[in-house]
Amino acid sequence: MAAPLLTLQSIRLSFGSTPLLTEAELTVGAGERLCLVGRNGSGKSTLLKIAAGLIEADSGRRFLQPDASLRYLPQEPDFSGFATALDYVVEGLNPVDGLYVGRALLNELGLSGDENPALLSGGQARRVALARVLAPEPDILLLDEPTNHLDLPAIEWLEAKLASLRSALVLISHDRRFLHNLTRKTVWLDRGITFNRDRGFAEFEAWRDQMLEEEELKQHKLARKIAAEEDWLRYGVTARRKRNQKRLGDLQGLRKAHREHQRAVGQVKFAASETGATPALVIETRDIAKAYDTRPIVRDFSVRILRGDRLGLVGANGAGKTTLINLLTGVLAPDTGEVKQGAGLAMASLDQNRTSLDPKTSLKDALTGGGSDFVEVAGARKHVIGYMRDFLFGPEQAGTPIGRLSGGERGRLMLARALAQPTNLLVLDEPTNDLDLETLDLLQELLTDYKGTVILVSHDRDFLDRVASSVLVAEGDGRWTEYAGGYSDMVGQRGRGLGAAPVLKSARGRADPKGHTGAPPKSKRKLSFKEKHALETMPARMEKLRTDAARHKAVLADAELYRSDRAKFTSATEALANATAELAKAEEEWLALEILREEIEGAG
């Protein structure tokens, strides 16, 4: 068996007197696909930085094979010192090939490479950072929240890209679907200790819950033993003899172990305040339209949103999801058409940019409005400290300015504010940003139990599948289509997702980096013999590639294969990557030819 490419052993790290990592380990072999999971604040990003060689642990051992190449994707890339996005991407690469590969990746991601890094949006910055780590196709890719700030087309493109690479992957992500589709091994970081399982993320949560149940049972047995020993101490023989003194010492040790046991971090307690009266018809639109500078955002759009509906909006960044929400809720007036809202509508909203949070305002004042120690929740007064605890904030954070909170903490604060308001309509724009998996579970349960109506924008496919009763898709050119069910149901009805590539294609398959759309010029030429032959034979070839990929996946589904037959594992991994890449290429070529054929027939 080949030696691992990267090894971390007995890693310990403390910040001040607080231990963060106490017995953390990580082993990455060639071609392995690992997810690193754990609660927010558990030390995942820190452990990944140690693996990348950016942080030195207090103790433990890090070993990277001398000839192994490694690239690390941080959550916040540093663009200082680079004049253009392309300069950042190609640093350290071969001057000739690097420029070609770097620009090609940026073009695939919807960028030209000439952008000023200081002026990039969050989504653009993430795409540039991804291009930098993907360009050299290293032996190991360490990716910290790679889907942050990406829209769904970009996420699906990245997922396909990573699946086609031979690089070993270590992924930190809160995107369940992303982890489910890409990983075959799980490393769980819990209270400073790592636990390993040779299964992908799909089986992680059941395994984690079983581990926590076993731990709880163990602690329950310890508590019962303590109670029995205390009973002996009160009513048993005197403790003056040595054997009794020893038993007394053992009891104190049991108490200490029980007292010092680090239980799992508490869970958020969500409860939404709801108004008594809820209209049956929440929102109805009739042929509404909205355009900016002649660019249509919404065109001839009609919809009826009823009490209890959970409507999810999906589409590429810039498609107009937030604009459509503003039209539905009355924040914006349509250029044409009519928007009707039900009587007695009480709405609470959460915006993705947290713009309603003043960074100088304290956490306590943000929840109470200032001048009070109480929050109104579900018609009852609750002390702000208790309400803060429900959302995992400690009492010592009451006076903390919002600007000093982490992204996850700001997300929880926005939810706490929104859920405290009496509502029958929740409007949530990217509510899952920066939330860990456990908090996401609780938010999903809340929205499922909520008796009012929910309108949400999300790029989280799993979240949409669990919450949405219907999905509204931006089809382009201002057209929106509603599909019953969640995201997976939409894909089944539509026949495809939002597209593997994050940029729009012209009729001839060329990438348009600026995402411009427009009627392609009509062509009078005919399909060549080669193009006709490709159109006729490509479906059979794609089906064969799908069959090959399924066969290789079946081989890799054997959890013991890596240990029992490393050569077969490596061969199957490479074959799967090749088949996936070839399938993606064939599908894109076939789609371009189909568009061209329709264009020619339409011109005729």
459 shares its domain with 334: yes
In order of 108, 172, 534, 538, 590, the CA distances from 542 in angstroms are 22, 32, 11, 6, 9
Q: How is residue 238 written in tokens?
A: 């005197």
Q: Burial of 275 by CB count in 10 Å (0-12 exposed, 13-18 middle, 19+ buried)?
A: middle
Q: Is residue 505 part of a domain?
A: no
Same domain, 489 and 561: no
**Quick one: average pLDDT of 67-91?**
93
Nearest to 556 by CA among 182, 95, 304, 59: 182
Taking residues 84-101, report their average pLDDT: 88
Total Cβ atoms within 10 A of residue 296? 17
φ, ψ dihedrals at 197, nearest 5°: -145, 130
The number of C-alpha atoms within 13 Å of 280 and in the hemisphere containing its C-beta is: 0
Distance between CA atoms of 262 and 268, rounded to whole angstroms? 18
For residue 536, tell me if it sits in a domain. yes
- State the pLDDT at residue 456: 92
Q: How confident is the model at residue 515 (pLDDT cuts 50, 70, 90)?
A: very low
Beta carbons within 8 Å of 507's beta carbon, 6+ residues apart: 520, 595, 596, 599
**What distance in Å separates the CA atoms of residue 128 and residue 170, rounded to the nearest whole number?**
19
Instruction: Identify whether 49 is part of a domain.
Output: yes
Indicate the range of 76-80, 146-150, 576-580 predicted with least confidence.
576-580
Q: Is the pLDDT of residue 78 over 50?
A: yes
What whole-number distance in Å separates Cα of residue 546 and Cα of residue 584?
10
CATH of the domain at 598: 1.10.287.380
User: Which residues, at least 6 apart from 272, have a Cβ–Cβ distance to it below 8 Å?
Assistant: 378, 419, 423, 426, 446, 450, 452
- Poorest-confidence range of 163-177, 260-274, 394-408, 442-456? 260-274
Higher-confidence position of 160 and 92: 160
**Cα 547 to chain center, whole Å?**
29
Q: Is residue 478 part of a domain?
A: yes
Please state, in angstroms and rounded to a whole number, the distance separating the CA atoms of residues 454 and 283. 11
Q: Are residues 456 and 578 in the same domain?
A: no
In a domain, 514, yes or no: no
pLDDT exceeds 80 at position 121: yes
Residues 43 and 158 in one domain: yes
Answer whether residue 242 is part of any domain. Answer: no
Question: Measured between alpha carbons, how far is 421 from 431 in angstroms, rounded to an integer?
Answer: 16
Spacing of C-alpha 156 from chain mean position: 12
Co-location of 41 and 170 in the same domain: yes
Q: Which amino acid is at 271?
A: A
The predicted pLDDT at position 519 comes to: 37
Residue with tokens 């069910």: 485
Which of these three, 476, 494, 512, is where a domain ends? 494
pLDDT of res. 602 = 60
Q: What is the pLDDT of residue 1?
A: 57
Q: Are 29 and 20 in contact (CB under 8 A)?
A: no
Report H helices in 165-309: 176-182, 204-235, 242-260
Nearest to residue 310, comparing CAs of 466, 478, 473? 466
Average pLDDT over residues 278-300: 89
Residues 544 and 490 in one domain: no
Q: Which of 180, 206, 232 is the last residue of a domain?
A: 206
Overall number of domains in the chain: 3
Q: Are residues 463 and 544 in the same domain?
A: no
- Residue 585: the pLDDT is 75
Which tokens sit at 467? 């919450």
Alpha helices, H only, 382-460: 384-390, 407-420, 437-449
**Last residue of a domain, which of 191, 206, 221?**
206
Q: Quick one: 286 and 387 in the same domain?
A: yes
Q: Tell me the mean pLDDT in the region 135-139.
A: 94
Per residue in 392-421, pLDDT tens? Answer: 788 888 888 888 877 677 777 877 887 777
Residue 504 forms part of a structural domain: no
Please report the DSSP string for 500-547 in residue order.
SSSS-B-TTS-B-TT----PPPP------HHHHHHHHHHHHHHHHHHH
- 525, pLDDT greater than 90: no
Provide the H-helix boundaries in 138-241: 152-164, 176-182, 204-235
For 32-59, how does the pLDDT look when each residue is reduced to its tens digit (9 = 90+)? 999 999 887 788 999 999 999 999 999 9
Q: How far apart are CA 388 and CA 269, in angstroms?
A: 10
% the chain with pLDDT above 70 = 81
pLDDT for 526-551, tens place per residue?
A: 666 677 777 788 888 888 888 888 88
Q: In sequence order, which ranges of 285-330 are alpha helices (DSSP H)?
A: 321-328
Per residue in 378-392, pLDDT (tens digit) is 667 889 898 888 777
Q: Could you tell me if 541 and 470 lie in one domain?
A: no
CATH number at residue 294: 3.40.50.300
Residue type, 548: D
Asked whether residue 216 carries a pLDDT value surpassing 90, the answer given is no
489 and 584 in a single domain? The answer is: no
Q: How confident is the model at residue 163 (pLDDT cuts 50, 70, 90)?
A: very high
Q: Give a yes or no: residue 503 inside a domain.
A: no
DSSP 247-301: HHHHHHHHHHHHHH--PPPP-------B-S---SEEEEEEEEEEEETTEEEEEEE
In this prediction, residue 554 has a pLDDT band, given cuts at 50, 70 and 90, of: confident
Q: Which domain range does residue 369 map to?
A: 281-494
Q: What is the side-by-side order of every strand in the sheet holding 295-306?
A: 295-306, 281-292, 336-341
**Residues 304-322: what's their mean pLDDT?**
90
Cβ atoms 302, 288 nearer than 8 A? yes
Do residues 294 and 427 share a domain? yes
For range 348-359, the mean pLDDT: 68
Please report the pLDDT score of residue 319 as a whole number: 87
pLDDT level of residue 277 (50, 70, 90 thresholds): low
460/557 same-domain check:
no
- Contacts for 16 with CB less than 8 Å, ≥ 6 apart: none
Structure tokens at 539: 């479906």
Tell me which residue of 60, 47, 19, 79 sits closest to 171, measured CA to CA. 47
* CA–CA dist 460, 151 (Å, integer): 9
3-state secondary structure (DSSP) of residue 116:
coil
Higher-confidence position of 145 and 433: 145
- pLDDT at position 50, please? 96
